Every structure is written in C-alpha cells, then in structure tokens.
Amino acid sequence: MTNNKIGLVLPMYNEEGNVESLIEALSMVRQNHSLDLLAICVNDGSADDTLKLLQEASTKYNFVRLVNHGKNKGLGQAIRSGIGKALELKVDLIGFMDGDLTHDPNDLPKFVAKVNEGYDFVIGSRFIKGGGMVQVPLFRQLFSIFGNLAARFILRVPVRDCTTGYRVIKREVFEKIKLEEPGFGIQLEEVVKAYAAGFKIGEVPIILGNRVHGKSKMFYGYDLVKNYLILFRKSLKWLKEIDKK
C-alpha cells in the first residue's frame, strides 16, 4: 500500500487480556495491506502478565518491539518512550493506538492513505461522518462530546476530535515539537502544538468500541475536569507563543 515505514506505539498497563488478540490482529493487517509496520509495545510497569506476553510476542513476531518501564510512569511517559523508540528505528510515520482493542487495527490503512494525500498529522475521529462510539457508557460519550466542543471553542483548533488516542503522524512533527504532559493530556498537547507549529492536520472516521478485557485507566470526575481546564490554559499559551514567532 505504501513504502512508508510505520512505528505504531502501543502503551500498555495491565492489558494481559488483550495482548495476544491485538498483536494477532496487527499481524493480519500487515499481511493483508502490505504495511511496513513495527508494533512498539510499551509496558508501563504492569502488575499482571502483560510483560510476559509481550516478551513471548516479540519472540513469535518479528515486527514486535518491546519497551519496558520497571514501574508505572503514566500515559505521557509511555507515549514519549514509544516516540523515542520509533525515532531510533528511523520510521517515517509514528502511529498511536490504545492497547485495549477499543480501536480497530483494520482502520490503519485509512490513516496511511490520508497521510499520502498530503497531511502531516491524521487523527481518528468519532465526530465526523462515519465515526462514532459503540457500547461506550453514556457518561463517557457525553464527556468526550462536550470536552471536544470546549476544546474547539476555546482553542480554535480546526479538529473535531482532539482527544482520541488513535492517530498517525509524520516523524517530522516530533522532530519539531516537544511533549511534556504527564497523563492523558498529552493527546491534546500533541494536537495543539502540531497545529501551532503549522503542520497540516486531517481526520478519518473511526468507531470507538468498549473494552472487553481489563479496566479503563481513565478516571472521570472533578480532577479530570480540573486538569483539562489547566491544560486549556497551557494550550492558549502555546498558541500565543507560536503567534509571536
């Protein structure tokens, strides 16, 4: 489908129930679409058998690469570690997908095709035609909808879904921007800083499912709302700093 070498970063924390199915699904996508894909699995200090299963997968499949955190460092550091490994492997595109099978690996070719149209940063969107959420609890759907509306209104970033973790991005983006957020806010930080730096952002529709195995690492409540309000203020500062240059 493309000659681009893709490094797909998969942050994982206590995902023993999903590892084997996810890696097998990625293996099929590689074969069916002739993708030059490396799966960069970041074990973020899991307390279950995630590390053991990833070690077995890296022996069984030659496209699996393992990064291990001895203790849990959070999503932000897991993503930064994955990006570092991807740059070390000299990939052309760096992708991100949740490690819990809520993102469909079969959508990957759509992202690559969009990049080939001239986009630098492609996001999987739940909020454009063809996108959506299935079997996701209503309170999570409402939080995502209103959170993204607020992001668009406050930040004026022309993206309908700033917070989904499914995305494919040219390596040049990460050679120019620096990511610093420790938790889930890193996903919004990526979008804002890439947009502020002048990179072209596009969206493709995805259907977000609900996990079958394990528990979500996202805690919805007052602290999450407070942290996102703080992040919005930071984002406005990033945008203003770019405007001054």
**pLDDT score for 37:** 98
**pLDDT score for 139:** 72
**pLDDT score for 215:** 55
CATH number at residue 159: 3.90.550.10
**pLDDT score for 20:** 97
Strand partners, 11: 42
Measure the CA–CA gap between 142 and 137, rounded to whole angstroms.
Answer: 9
164, 191 Cβ separation under 8 angstroms: no
37, 29 Cβ separation under 8 angstroms: yes
pLDDT profile of the chain (245 residues), mean per 10: 86 96 98 97 98 98 98 96 98 96 96 98 96 83 74 81 95 96 88 93 93 50 62 69 51
**pLDDT score for 238:** 66
Burial 187-223 (b: 16+ CB within 10 A, else e): bbbbbbbbbbbebebbbbbbbbeebeebeebeeeeee
Measure the CA–CA gap between 113 and 127, rounded to whole angstroms.
Answer: 19
Domain count of the fold of the chain: 1
Domain span at 210: 5-244
Strand partners, 239: none
**pLDDT score for 141:** 74
Residue 192 sits at the vertex; the CA angle it makes with 215 and 166, to the nearest 5 degrees, is 35
| Cα–Cα distances in angstroms (integers) from residue 236 to residues 14, 105, 142, 215, 243, in the given order | 34, 33, 24, 33, 11
**pLDDT score for 194:** 94
**pLDDT score for 153:** 74
**pLDDT score for 244:** 46
**pLDDT score for 220:** 43
